[in-house]
Structures are given as C-alpha cells and as structure tokens.
Amino acid sequence: MSLIVQKYGGTSVGDTDRIMNVARRIKGFVDDGHKVVVVVSARSGVTNDLIARAKTLNPEPDEREMDMLLAVGEQETIALTAMALDSLGVRAVSRTGAQAGIITDEAHTRARITEITGGDIKKCLDENKVVIVAGFQGVDKTGNVTTLGRGGSDLSAIALAAALKADLCQIYTDVSGIYTADPRIVTSARKISEMSYEELLEMASMGSKVMQARSVEFAQKHNVVFEVKSSFNNEPGTIVKSEAPSLEDVVISGVAVDRNQTKVTVSEIPDKPGTAAEIFQKLGEAGIVVDMIVQNISRGGKANLTFTVSKDDASKAERVLDNVCKTLRGSNVCITGDIAKVSVVGTGMRSHSGVAAKFFRTLAANNINIQVITTSEIKISVGISLDDAEKAVNALHSAFELDK
C-alpha cells in the first residue's frame, strides 16, 4: 500500500464526463489498496473566464478580491469529483486549500506557501477516504483566500506530496509527458522519459506551461520525484528527479515558447548611475517581474531601456513607469506590443561550443528578426514577433536534431 498524490489539470476535469473518467482512474488506485490524495484544477477555461469577467468591471482589480474570485473555479471541481467518486462507491471528501492547511504569505495572486498543516487529511485517509483538495489556492494567516500564481495546482500537488511524505506524485495532464517542444506546435516533438529538475525548471521558466516553474523549484528543494503523464491513456510519462544521466550527453533538451510577453521601452532616460536601479526598484515594489533587458548605447547623455514583462502586468507596468518618468525628466514610456520569447534549453550547453552560432544561423535562415536577446549558462532566449513564433520553434527543433 502506498500513499499517492495525484493532480488532474483543467482539461482532464473539463466536463462531467471527464470528471467521471478521472473518478474511475482514482477508483482503480483505491481498489489496488492505495491511499490517494487528489489535487484538481478548475475546469479548463474557467480561470481565464473569471479573469476576463473581473477585467470588464475593473482593468486593475483588487488582488484580494481577485483571489476570492479565482478560488471559485477549483472549488467547483473538488465537489464534483467527490460526487463522482461517491457514485462509484468510493468514499471521498473535498477540502479547500484552507481546509487542507495550505498556509501562504499575503502576496495575493502569487502567494508563496509558508507551511502545510494538512488539516484533517491524515485522519480522512485513515478512515479510507479519498481526499480531494482544491489546487491553486491557500489561505494567509489572517484567513484571506490566496492563490499561488497561474498553473498553481501543480505547486499544490508537489507541496502536498512533500508535506505528506507521499510515496508517489503523479501529475496528470492532457499530453503524455514532457516533450522536446510543445507537441501541439511541433508534431515531431519527442517524449522525454526522464529529466532533471534543473532542465525542467529552465524549460518551465521559459514558458513551457506543462508544469508551473515554481512547482518544479519546490520539487527540487524538497526532492519530490514526480511523473507527468496523460489522464487520457496509460502510457508511461516523464519522470522528473534530481539526476537524469541519460540526458548528460545531450546538448539541447528542448525548445520553449512563451507568447505572454509584452515589450516595454523607456526612452530618453538620463545616462547616469542609478537610473536603471530606480526603474527596476519601482517595478519590483509593484510585484512586477521583469524578464529580458537591453539598454542601447547612449546618445547625448540619454539612453533607451527595453525590457519585457508578462502581458498580464503590462498596464500596471505602464502606470508605475509613467510615475517614474515624471522624476526622470524628459523620459517616456512606450508599450511596444506583445512578443514571443523562444528559447533553447539544455545543461549540455555548459560544455559545448557553437550552440549560439547554430541558434542565430537558424533564425537568420528563416528570416526571423530578433528584438531582444538573453542567455544563461543553460539557455538562449530571443524575443521575436508573435507571428514568427511557430516557425522559429519548428526550425530550432529540427536544427538541433531534437526529432532524431
């Protein structure tokens, strides 16, 4: 008998038939004698709809109220999943994030988990009940509902697996594992059988939304081994753990694309020490994460600073920067539109030369213009037009022979 934590994403619980499919899958594990804790997401599209509805009323909704609203999506699915299990004769109870003792800080819409008490989960398991926990949500120490950032149900599952010392953590989704690129964009993408936290973290941070980046970071810190697999078939998925020796000779492990970036330019800023610090300090205080950054050569004592932020933060960034510009006389803010960030990722890059050359040659051969560049030891990313994203991902995937 094992204790298994399973997470089912939005598509897997997208309608009542799919919820019943999930319930049957869970029943299979219960019948085999396992204890099961299940984390579910909101039905696919529900969180997006709730955000859109909020924004029609207020373009910058209060974040506490936003969390109150967004938590609704997962609350629907926990109850429906418990009902589906009950109809199959499996005893099950639903728990909100607060009831499951998922305690977070007060950073609404992007809260960090500070503690997991588990509430009465252990007691329920001892009574042979399946416990269905609402993903994505927690509670701060004063009782306010919080959420853990988009894709946060992954984090709920990994954190519960760590806290409950589960024997197995399974992340069920709508693809059969983690691939060398999004299989919906690159038809020749290959499933990776094992990969390291480090590599997946870089891919997730670069926009492969198959796992939330923060959840991978948490898994790495607490050494939670997990498997990403499909809820629609029984194929083996991708095992993620600290070492994945099979990948060591591989230079590039995958190509990622993030279509959720907006390019912001602050122009005519005084070219003197402390200006960039002032700009990024104010953005940081507003909770805005800045991604790719370039500063051009100054002319006449003035410079331009270009960077990207998440599309969701664009209007907030504009407001913050308008204020900063008032103190930096003569400077202007310009939101220059949405771009795609395309990255190649691989720990093998550390010890191989020529990766950058091949990367840029491939984009050039496909007539793709680069707007922003950023690199780390194990990745190269560029900001390009959204229209070029699919072409770039496919071209890089074959140039690096990821389909072989």
Binding site for ligand ASP (CB under 6 A): 9-10, 41-42, 47, 73, 135-136, 150-154
CB of 47 to Mg ion, least distance (A): 10
Reading the block at residue 66, the tokens are: 């936003």
Q: Strand order of the sheet with strand 145-147?
A: 113-116, 102-104, 137-139, 145-147
Least separation in angstroms between CB 295 and ligand ADP: 31
Give residues 323-352 in contact with ligand ADP (rule: CB under 6 A): none
Query: Does 151 contact Mg ion by CB under 5 A?
Result: yes
Pick one of 179, 307, 359, 400: the residue that binds ligand ADP (CB under 6 A). 179
Residue 11 interacting with ligand ADP (CB under 6 A):
yes
Locate all alpha helices (DSSP H) within 44-152, ordered by sequence. 46-57, 63-87, 121-126
d(CA 180, CA 29): 30
Q: Using the rule CB under 6 A, which residue among 63, 174, 194, 312 binds ligand ADP?
A: 174
CB 203 within 8 A of CB 253: yes
Is the CB of residue 327 less than 8 Å from the CB of residue 278? yes
Dist. CA 171–CA 229, nearest whole Å:
6
Q: Locate tokens 């594992």: which residue?
A: 177
For residue 153, give the nearest of 172, 140, 176, 125 by alpha carbon: 172
Give the closest residue to 75 by CA, choosing from 104, 46, 102, 51. 46
178 binds ligand ADP (CB under 6 A): yes
Which SS3 state, helix, strand or coil, does residue 356 take? Answer: helix
- Least distance (Å) from ligand ASP to the CB of residue 404? 33
Nearer to ligand ADP, 322 or 401 (CB): 401
| Cα 302 from chain centre | 37
Q: What does 73 bind: ligand ADP, Mg ion, ligand ASP, none (CB cut-off 5 to 8 Å by kind)?
A: ligand ASP
Residue 270 binds which of ligand ASP, ligand ADP, Mg ion, none (CB < 5-8 A, kind-dependent): none
Residue 231: CB minimum distance to ligand ADP, A: 8
Output the smallest distance, CB 200 to ligand ASP, in A: 16
Site for Mg ion in 7-36 (CB under 5 A): 9
Binding residues for ligand ADP, rule: CB under 6 A, are 9-12, 41, 151, 173-175, 178-179, 181-184, 208-210, 254
